[in-house]
């Protein structure tokens, strides 16, 4: 399965399991296993670099299992083939997003004017609090 120009997933990294869907669908729901559970062995994948795996784990959230696999469950349509397609698209989108390197934040100097405004507000607030003290006679 091709994700980007330099990321391609091997067949052994993906496994699919089909189960019966829940919800409306009449007799079709009771007879046909249309729901798809796509499992991708992300931790063992040789095609993903360590930083990509780290970002992928963060993006996957609760879909990341303890043994380092990503599980995507789809039961949106009544068609097994379409659910399978949707699951693969979601996995590809997740990996593409993890493959993007985030831009480094460049710290900027705080403007002089904002520093002065902050100090002025602090001074005013301090004066207000000072007036709350006990009155000395």
For residue 110, tell me if it sits in a domain.
Answer: no
For residue 127, tell me if it sits in a domain.
Answer: no
Q: Distance (Å, rounded) from C-alpha 108 to C-alpha 100?
A: 24
For residue 121, tell me if it sits in a domain.
Answer: no
For residue 122, tell me if it sits in a domain.
Answer: no
Q: How many domains does the chain have?
A: 1
Biggest CA-to-CA distance, the chain: 90
Q: Tens of pLDDT along 104-131?
A: 989 999 999 999 999 999 999 999 998 8
DSSP code of 62? G
Total count of residues recorded for the chain: 137
For residue 125, tell me if it sits in a domain.
Answer: no
Q: Distance (Å, rounded) from C-alpha 63 to C-alpha 43?
A: 13
Q: Tens of pLDDT along 23-72?
A: 666 777 777 888 899 999 888 888 888 988 899 999 988 999 998 899 99
Domain that holds residue 83: 11-99
For residue 2, tell me if it sits in a domain.
Answer: no
> Is the model's pLDDT at 1 over the cut of 90?
no
Q: What is the pLDDT of residue 123?
A: 97
For residue 129, tell me if it sits in a domain.
Answer: no
Q: Which residue has the higher pLDDT, 130 or 13?
A: 130
Give the H/E segment covering residue 60.
helix 50-60
| Whole-Å CA distances, 16 to 35, 40, 118 | 10, 9, 58
Q: Going by C-beta distance under 8 Å and a sequence separation of 6 or more, which residues neighbour residue 19? A: 33, 35, 37
CATH code assigned at 94: 3.30.160.20
For residue 22, tell me if it sits in a domain.
Answer: yes
């Amino acid at each position: 399965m091709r994700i980007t120009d330099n990321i391609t997933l091997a067949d052994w990294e993906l496994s699919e399991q089909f189960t019966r869907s829940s919800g409306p669908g009449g007799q079709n729901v009771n007879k046909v296993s249309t729901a798809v559970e796509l499992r991708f062995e992300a931790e063992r994948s040789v095609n993903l670099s360590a930083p990509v795996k780290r970002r992928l784990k963060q993006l996957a959230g609760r879909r990341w299992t303890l043994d380092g696999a990503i599980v995507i469950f789809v039961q949106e349509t009544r068609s097994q083939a379409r659910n399978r397609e949707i699951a693969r698209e979601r996995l590809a989108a997740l990996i593409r997003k993890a493959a993007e390197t985030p831009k480094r934040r460049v710290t900027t100097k705080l403007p002089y004017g904002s520093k002065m405004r902050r100090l002025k507000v602090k001074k005013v607030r301090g004066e207000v609090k000072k007036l709350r003290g006990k009155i000395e006679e």
